[in-house]
Amino acid sequence: MDRKLRVLLLEDDPRDAELVLAELGRAGLKAEATRADTEAEFAAALSPRLDLILADHSLHEFDTERALTRLKASGLEVPLIVVTGGLPDERAAAVMALGAYAVLTKARLGELGPLARRALHESQLRRENRRLHERLLVEARTREAVEESMSAGLLCFDKHGKVSRANRAACAMLGYSAEELHGMAAPFAFWPPGKADLFESALLERRALASLETTGLRRDGRRFDVLLQLALLSGSGGAPEGAVALLYDVSELKRARAECEFRVALLEAEHEATLDGILVVDAAGGVVSHNRRFGEIWRLPAPLLAQRKDAPMLEAALTQVRDPEAFQARIRYLYEHPQEKSLDRVVLKDGRVLERYSAPLRAPDGRYLGRAWFFREPEKDAPHA
């Protein structure tokens, strides 16, 4: 040890205290000592900075048993070595039972150096182990808090394929308590027959699964759609020691997706069935969609429509209108004033007259998403504007 030891000497004879310190010095241990010979002085000298306590057993008003009791009450973990002229075996055993590191007679003072080194080394190991234990405890509690806050169900499996842990979300999803799930093995009660063969075989054969969509079975018999992932846990030697499965209840997502697909199909059917030519652009002016009737009204070739670009479509339209400047000016105005609607008529060079209606598209929160354009050929042409 490079720095000086901080030593507390419980000794009422200054000469004996000097002998003890000299013996430490001969062993290569430099010490910065504080001497106490009363209970009050001993209690006042107790500090987390102490490395070692060397105590004479019997003082006039204080003894080692009371010193050990004081030390224990302080919560400090400082090794205490009793250095005394002599001590009966039963008293020595009692002192050791109270927490003394060792009892050494002054006749064997030459052994103090090695004994002190061993006590200091073991004390350092205890401190390191305690810090490691505290760090592991914090990590374990943090991991547990994260797992319990997850919306996904989490199931941990040991190397035999049995459930070793289930988080709150998994219990709620499956309808079992953590205690009921603990120790459960294949065939698992939370899969309908034949619905998780791939998962169970991967678990037993120690194979990871990136993604598997299947059907789960709640304890009350209700089935639900589940997306699961399986990851392997490796031990220090790299061999699989278990696995972790993440379960996502996708029942609502699948229902919402099916409903969305139906609405899109319905919208597309209406889109194509209408007599209006429809063009939808996003907030940046890019083409989102158009229907077949839009291409027919403007007589645009299929390759141009397939580009889904606004500029080529506009260029093609400008070649067909009688007043391209007014036509383009109105478009520019509406893009610069996204909140406005518009209804007007457009006269084409071939004599047709189109009704043009435009309205902004907005999200429920009011955000501007783009604009829809509707073009229709009236049954009877109005006077040309």
Token pair belonging to 233:
């846990």
pLDDT at 205 over 70: yes
Domain total of the chain: 3
Lowest average pLDDT, out of 11-15, 72-76, 328-332, 349-353, goes to 11-15
CATH of the domain at 306: 3.30.450.20
In a domain, 266, yes or no: no
Q: Does residue 56 have a pLDDT over 60?
A: yes
Which of 67, 97, 128 terminates a domain? The answer is: 128
Residue 351 lies in a domain: yes
Side-chain half-sphere CA neighbours of 373 within 13 A: 28
pLDDT score for 2? 64
Per-residue pLDDT of 84-137, as tens digits, reads: 887 788 888 988 999 999 998 888 888 999 999 999 999 999 889 999 999 988
Domain range for 46 is 5-128
- Asked if 189 and 220 count as a contact pair (C-beta separation under 8 A), the reply is no
Q: In this structure, are 123 and 154 located in the same domain? A: no
| pLDDT tens per residue, range 283-295 | 988 899 999 999 9
DSSP one-letter string for 147-177: HHH-SSEEEEEETTS-EEEE-HHHHHHHT--
Question: Considering only CA atoms, which of 74, 78, 33, 77 is closest in space to residue 52?
Answer: 78
- Helix, strand, or coil (residue 8): strand
Q: Which amino acid is at 244?
A: V
d(CA 14, CA 249) in angstroms, rounded, equals: 77
What is the average pLDDT across 53-64? 82
In a domain, 382, yes or no: no
- Asked which of 250, 285, 308 is the last residue of a domain, the reply is 250
Domain contains 384: no
Q: Does 269 fall in a domain?
A: no
Is the pTM above the cut of 0.95? no
For residue 13, being part of any structural domain is answered with yes
177 with 231, same domain? yes
**Does the residue 312 lie in any domain?**
yes
Domain end (from 68, 93, 128): 128
DSSP letters of 336-370?
HSTT--EEEEEEBTTS-EEEEEEEEEE-TT--EEE
| Four-residue CA torsion sign, 251, 253, 254, 255 | positive
In a domain, 159, yes or no: yes
CATH of residue 120: 3.40.50.2300
> How far is residue 96's CA from residue 211's CA, in Å, rounded to a whole number?
60
